[in-house]
Chains A and B, each alone.
Chain A
Amino acid sequence: MKDLNISKLEAIFQQKIDDDVKIEPNDWMPDAYRKSLIRQISQHAHSEVVGMLPEGNWITRAPNLRRKAVLLAKVQDEAGHGLYLYSAAETLGADREKTIDDLHSGKAKYSSIFNYPTLTWADMGAIGWLVDGAAIMNQVPLCRCSYGPYARAMIRVCKEESFHQRQGFEVINKLAEGTIEQKEMAQDALNRFWWPALMMFGPSDDDSSHTEQSMRWKIKRNTNDELRQMFVDVTVPQAESIGLKVPDPHLKWNEEKECYDFGPIDWDEFWQVVGGNGPCNKERVDARRKAKEDGKWVVEAAMAFANKRNAKKTA
């Protein structure tokens, strides 16, 4: 009897998905759908928060007042994205602090790109241009994701990301039209961030364990390889337009397919970085863990204070 009910509920659920009706927090949903979304949304939230660190690394050294202000605003936006994504995960019953503890213990993942170091000012340009550019490719389809709160959060996130992408391109463009040192700085940043940016779309479709089910549930709308190809096709002409060279000897326009062919991705490096062996994995997670540990007494004080005030009110 119970099984029958569940299969009925599943059928209603899948019908909604097929009819593009959004799933809302109080709707019935299969456990696997809920789990898959919690995993994806909290990973996304962690990426926003960890992503503050590589750029935060350059706020104090930004070369002028305007760049400093823009970078502060951008990193602040990312913290905001983190907040509403954690909230979206909470609508599925995930506990924010527990989710964060999973990040700190290494159980939860975040975007591997943030495990690469930011070594020069040009990296602020490369991150905005390439990393936020790739994030937009990933996230625009998520605005149509079947889960309502996630789709709505993504609409707002994408608006801000496209501003970030433009400011990143402006930073790198300014360097590309600058002095020899500045051009070299820009090219060096592109050299270091190009391949990690392509890896941001995740493993190739043949090796992606979550893609098929996620597409059936309309959590995901395009495969990793489709999105990666779109990114290459949009970004290569941008690099050319400012006189920078994409570091891929195999890169070539394919007349027949009307897209770029590009060289093989170093998947060993990808899996190493995902597995914790990137240049900055330890630093990033340690920094987040330290922030929470250092802030523990502050949170305790705020709670104790709130309790005292409430007690006074009711007394």
Chain B
Amino acid sequence: MTKQEALHIYLLRMGDDSLILGQRLSQLCGHGPILEEDIALTNVALDLIGQATLFLEYSGELAEQPKTNDELAYLRLEKEYVNAILVEQPNGHFGDTILRQFLFDAYRKPLLEKLLDSNDERLAGIAEKSLKETKYHLRHSSEWVIRLGDGTEESHERIQNSLESLLRYAHELFFENEVDKLLIAEGIVPSAESIFPIWEKTLNDVLKEATLTLPKNNWKFQGGREGRHSEHMGYLLAEMQYMQRTYPNMEW
């Protein structure tokens, strides 16, 4: 594997995480629990679609046969998407949506911070722009986890259940294979090892303030990074790819 091939795949992961989570959040537009929150979640969706656009654009340029970001976003097979399974999980109730977001933001923020020092200038640039947005996302999602955890009995129970069902997908965010090893050696990306403790500390701090407890079941799911997704993914793609599949080769 060359450095270029590795970076292509790494950027695809970053892009797919943003794209699929952005797609999920955009399903909620117009249906948020209160208007202010509708605006906030739509804003997060918009930022993520913007980040996906940049990551996929760069990834596409590095592909063996160059592709545009739209081709990558809309015209791959399910097994060719390499987002973490966490981000494709359905929105569920507001607590599920917020907890999914929190688990992701708490990983994405330290990752982007470390990518600022990447030897790849363009990647560092995308990280810098994204970081401004992701800092806000993490603040927003942590505040809600705390509010719901330490709110009413009902909200506490609901978000505790969200944690029970979603935490098992979070570990995949720290997946590594030869792609990462090569890029870490080149000083282009940080190791999962350097991100995980920061993520774990954020998680523990927020859960403590939210009066939530870590689930006993520590089962760890993975597969998304290697193209093996959950049953939800096919439907998400069918919807997202509808226009491009129904009307191929047209400009919009």
Residue numbers of A with Cβ under 8 A of B are: 49, 52-53, 56, 59-69, 72-73, 75-76, 79-80, 82-83, 86, 121, 171, 174-175, 178-179, 181-182, 287, 290-292, 294-302, 304-305, 308
Contact = CB atoms under 8 A, between A and B. Distances in A.
Interface string B14-37: 000000000100110111111111
A60 B32 contact: no
B93 A174 contact: no
- Interface size on B, as a range, is 35 or more
A127 to B, nearest CB: 14
A305 B36 CA distance: 17
Given A52-B29, A295-B33, A121 B155 contact: no
A301 B152 contact: yes
B109 to A, nearest CB: 22
* Across the A-B interface, the 6 shortest Cβ-Cβ residue pairs: A295-B33, A301-B151, A301-B155, A56-B30, A63-B243, A52-B30
B243 A300 contact: no
Interface stretch (B67-75, B129-137, B180-188, B191-199): B67-75
A65 B53 contact: yes
Interface in B22-58: 23, 26-27, 29-39, 42-43, 45-46, 49-50, 52-53, 56
A287 B30 contact: yes
Interface centre among B35, B52, B70, B73 (most CB of A within 10 A): B35
B252 interface: yes
Nearest to B23: A60
Contacts of A171: 252
Interface centre among B27, B69, B151 (most CB of A within 10 A): B151
Given A49-B35, A59-B26, A290-B31, A178 B158 contact: no
A291 B33 contact: yes
A75 B30 contact: yes
A300 B30 contact: no
Contacts of B239: 60-61
Given A59-B26, A63-B243, A68-B49, A83 B250 contact: no
Given A59-B26, A79-B38, A305 B150 contact: yes
Given A49-B35, A82-B35, A297 B154 contact: yes
B148 A298 contact: yes
Interface centre among A86, A300, A302 (most CB of B within 10 A): A302
Contacts of B243: 61-63, 121
B152 A304 contact: yes
Contacts of B33: 291-292, 294-296, 298-299
Given A59-B26, A300-B155, A79 B35 contact: yes
A297 B247 contact: no
A178 B147 CA distance: 50
B126 interface: no
Given A65-B69, A75-B30, A302-B151, A178 B251 contact: yes
13 contacts: A59-B27, A64-B252, A65-B70, A68-B49, A69-B50, A69-B53, A72-B46, A76-B46, A79-B39, A121-B252, A182-B247, A298-B37, A298-B95
B43 A76 contact: yes
Given A61-B242, A83-B35, A182-B250, A302 B147 contact: yes
Interface string B224-252: 00000000000000011011100100111
Interface in B129-165: 146-148, 150-152, 154-155, 158
